[in-house]
Amino acid sequence: MTEPGTPVGDVAERATAGFRQRYGAEPAGRWAAPGRVNLIGEHTDYNDGFVLPFALPLRTVVAAAPQDGERWTVWSELADSPVEFGATEADQPGRVTGWAAYVAGVVWALRAAGHAVPGARLAIASDVPLGSGLSSSAAIEAAVLAALVELGGLNLPAERRPRLAQRAENDYVGAPTGIMDQSAAIRCREGHALFLDCRTESVEQIPFDLDAAGLAVLVIDSRAPHRHADGEYASRRKSCERAAELLGVPALRDVSPADLDAALTRLDDDEMRRRVRHVVTEDQRVLHTVALLRAGRIRDIGPLLTASHASMRDDFEITVPEIDTAVEAALAAGAHGARMTGGGFGGCVLALVEASSADAVARAVVEAYAERGFATPGTLTVLPSAGATRLD
């Protein structure tokens, strides 16, 4: 899924080379965190529900070393010059803007939680495409967080890091996202999908050995321009929160499937009813998917993926024509199941396919795009990979 103009070469080498070139010194270490796809469970995280993401082999790498005082200097391979900020800017959400806000947000969230964050110089390189719904922002947050925690010898176990990274995104950057992406970037394990209860933050690593089963997950970058994605995301979240309030429950996770019909009759607004139906049924699809995976029945999750897509298209209304085209073409070409993954209004589709037919399915999607006059989509097969880690 390499974009034209994307830097080439190993991502860790690029981060190190950038560090040496910018700062004329060796980094003290390198930390990596992945992008993610969500196998199933969309817009359920901020409803206290269930999600099942897995980490991509595409990573963001931060090469870093301490520097004196409360100063942070950050260079990214996608920017011309480094951004510098001190405690004053870090302590005022919104003060640092653009890509560096994700870094400043992490410094802010650590400081707000009472940690003595070490000053640092950082160089960032990434293979996670920006704006494709693969969570490049959580990958930066997770990698920077890992670097600062280790450089400063801070006491912050992995299970407490996602909430902190989420605060960086919610309160410093100003995006009202849930906790899925940061959890995936930090807590995923190779060969597994991460079953996360977003209320309790308890996790179960679900074996998802595609290779052994002769299967592949094909990720299709729709290349659809994001249409008002931020505003639409925020409005979906508001609508869910309002519905929970009207139904007298702490969150939509508390509406049981058995009570769904009765709950829907208590809401006047048809649009709100559909939003609620998506969230409640999506939580059930996650639980069902997990049960099938625990039983080793990977192929059988296909229809659940496709049902999830229909629910996002018809009830949550977050898909776009490019995305629906990719799903339909993948299914017509023999995928076991396919769905949009991520927040919506563009981004990526995932399709569960026989490994031997991955190329044919990818070709079918490219052809369907050409027939509709859409820009050529990116395609990539992926295996569940590791969460944030120190490289050396």
Residues 92, 146, 5: CA angle, nearest 5 degrees: 85
Q: Is 183 annotated to bind ligand?
A: no
Indicate the Cα dihedral angle 371, 377, 380, 385, nearest 10°.
Answer: -140
Q: Is 26 annotated to bind ligand?
A: no
Residue 43 CB, nearest distance to ligand GAF (Å)?
A: 5
Q: What pairs with residue 31 in β-bridges?
A: 62, 390
Residue 310 CB, nearest distance to ligand GAF (Å)?
A: 16
Q: Is 132 annotated to bind ligand?
A: yes
- Active-site choice (127, 181, 221, 315): 181
Residue 235 CB, nearest distance to ligand GAF (Å)?
A: 13
Name residues whose C-beta falls within 8 Å of residue 127's C-beta, 6 or more positions apart in sequence: 11, 58, 59, 60
181 catalytic? Reply is: yes
E strand spans, the chain: 29-38, 50-51, 53-66, 71-76, 83-86, 120-126, 192-197, 203-207, 215-221, 337-341, 348-354, 378-382, 389-390
- Measured from the CB atom, is 31 or 233 closer to ligand GAF? 233
- Measured from the CB atom, is 342 or 384 closer to ligand GAF? 342
Residue 255 CB, nearest distance to ligand GAF (Å)?
A: 18
- Measured from the CB atom, is 45 or 322 closer to ligand GAF? 45
Question: 3 exposed, middle or buried (CB, 10 Å; 0-12, 13-18, 19+)?
Answer: exposed
- Measured from the CB atom, is 180 or 329 closer to ligand GAF? 180
Q: Is 45 annotated to bind ligand?
A: yes
**385 secondary structure, DSSP code:** B
Q: Is 43 annotated to bind ligand?
A: yes
- Which residues contact ligand GAF by CB under 6 A? 38, 42-43, 45-46, 177-178, 180-181, 342-343
- Measured from the CB atom, is 132 or 325 closer to ligand GAF? 132
β-strands 53-66, 83-86 pairing: unpaired
* Beta-carbon count within 10 A of 154 CB: 16
For residues 305 and 289, give the distance between their C-alpha atoms in angstroms, rounded to a whole number.
9
Q: Is 134 annotated to bind ligand?
A: yes
Residue 282 CB, nearest distance to ligand GAF (Å)?
A: 9
Annotated binding site for ATP: which residue ranges? 76, 131-137
Residue numbers belonging to the annotated binding site = 42-45, 76, 131-137, 169, 233
Residues annotated within the binding site for substrate are 42-45, 233
Q: Could you tell me which residues are annotated as the binding site for Mg(2+)?
A: 137, 169
- Residues taking part in catalysis: 181
